[in-house]
Structure 1
Amino acid sequence: MFDLSQSIFFIIGCLASFALICILFPRLFFSKQKYFPKRVITPFESKMYTRLISAFPQHHVLAQVAFSALITNQNYKIRNQFNRKVTDFVLLDKDCNVVVIIELDDPSHLGKEKEDAERDSMLQEAGYRVLRYTSIPSIHNLQKDIL
């Protein structure tokens, strides 16, 4: 049937085919990637960030700040209500005190007005002022609203 040279040729062909499949479809044989990069802020939020930097050059502008960095409570059930929430922007004065928290509502917020009001209420109860914008205001309007 097969002689030795045919067997060797067959084995080399199988190994070459397997190597080619590994190169073309590596996810079939290697562990799948679990973590992927994502943008810190959306392009819409990027424009607002730039506007805030321009409007308040003597201040610090933080983006995507966790509620847990702004408020706390000893009760686990209460902490759980805000534990995974994030605010869009926090404006700090030169001494790193919070001046205002700014939320930028894009069209994805439509129908979420009650949730947004609850989020604002948590922050306001802790003593923060919260401003919401549906579009990016001018530098003049930001300065007027905030200062």
Structure 2
Amino acid sequence: MAAAFNQGNRIMKAIIALTVLTIIILVVITVLTREKQAAQQKRREYIKKKPLSNHEQVLYWRLVGALPDHMVLAQVSLSRCLGTKDSGGLDEMTSKNLDFVVCDKASDVVAVIEIDTKNYSSKTVSKDDERKYKALKKAGIDIIRWRANSLPSEADIRERFTLLDPSKKLRVVKNKTHQTSIFGIGIGKYRNTGAG
């Protein structure tokens, strides 16, 4: 009986010793990991980046020149100009950005402008972009897409936007050959606002 008790006592001491050793190892690993992360944060060098690509910079200044009586906003979060009547519905799209938003002097959105990069096929629209464009269209916001490799001039932009009435609101002129649009290209259920 005493031998069994001594054997059980040794096993219990071994288990306690292993448990203490495991806890010590975990604490050491945690401390070393935190110190390494803190050292990395101190060493991390932050660099200044341009918020707009070269194509976006070119188009921004052309938009500003062509539409002097309007606000031209770049890289705008979708949630800044689109909401829902209920509390749900927009959550999955809140992280989406719009290349440009053109507003009138009252900050009402006149149009959204997206630049299609050279590797972007104008005949297909990603599912995320399709959902984004559908939501904008349902809210009554016009979407204009221009190819990065053939951006419009200031005169072309002025031609694309024309005054509707004395309230100074703009509308989008249809059927310009130098412009692309999602409407009628890849998503047949939309009306065509331009060929490209």
TM-score, normalized by the shorter chain, greater than 0.5: yes
> What is the aligned-residue RMSD (CA, Å)?
2.5
Q: Distance in 2 between matches of 1:85 and 1:28?
A: 30
Q: Percent of counterpart pairs with the same letter?
A: 28
Q: Distance in 1 between matches of 2:37 and 2:136?
A: 48
Stretches of structure 1 lacking an aligned partner (at least 5 in a row): 1-26
Equivalent in 133, 136, 146 of residue 146 of structure 2: 133
**1:124 equivalenced with 2:137 (yes/no):** yes
Query: Relative contact order, CA 8 A, sep 6+: which one is greater?
Result: 1
TM-score (norm 2): 0.54
Instruction: Return the offset for 1:81.
Output: 2.7
Partner of 2:93: 82
**1:113 equivalenced with 2:125 (yes/no):** yes
Q: Which runs of 4+ in 1 moved over 6 A?
A: none
Stretches of structure 2 lacking an aligned partner (at least 5 in a row): 1-35, 163-196
SS in structure 2 at match of 1:123: helix
> Which protein is richer in helix relative to its size?
1
SS in structure 2 at match of 1:117: helix
Q: Which moved more, 1:116-125 or 1:59-68?
A: 116-125
Bigger Rg, structure 1 or 2: 2
Asked if 2 retains the 8 angstrom alpha-carbon contact of 1:62 and 1:91, the reply is: yes
- In the TM superposition, 1:59-78 aligns within 5 A as 59-73=70-84, 74-76=86-88, 78=89
Q: Distance in 1 between matches of 2:137 and 2:45?
A: 37
Q: How many residues align?
A: 120
Partner of 1:98: 109
